[in-house]
Copies of this chain bind each other. A is one copy, B any other.
């Protein structure tokens, strides 16, 4: 973590403080994905498989929203607060990510 020392311009990733929570969530999603594969392999009923796929999709979406919220509150806010071009660039980049998220 070489970012802690660079307060004037530097910043941490927005999600760093919640890293353990995010990793736990991703581990759970990995388990869901493996469970879906197992259901398919065992010829489980299609609708039950679909229900699990929806649950995994929602869980991924929740991770996206959490990452994005932290990104806005840290990376973007820091760039905006320090002024200049970088703030505008970070805002544009975040808006593009939001659009991808809404459309996915």
A interface vs B, CB < 8 Å?
1, 12-16, 19, 22-23, 26-27, 29-30, 33-34, 36-37, 40-41, 43-47, 49-51, 53-58, 60-61, 63-65, 67-73, 75-77, 80-81, 83, 87-88, 91-95, 97-104
> What are 8 inter-chain pairs, A to B, with CB distance below 8 A?
A19-B43, A46-B67, A50-B68, A53-B63, A55-B104, A60-B60, A68-B95, A77-B91
Q: Given contacts A13-B43, A46-B75, A57-B64, list 5 more A-B pairs with CB under 8 A.
A: A23-B41, A33-B60, A54-B100, A54-B101, A69-B91
Contact indicator A73/B91 (Cβ below 8 Å): yes
Query: For residue A36, which residues in chain B have a CB less than 8 angstroms away from its CB?
Result: 26, 63
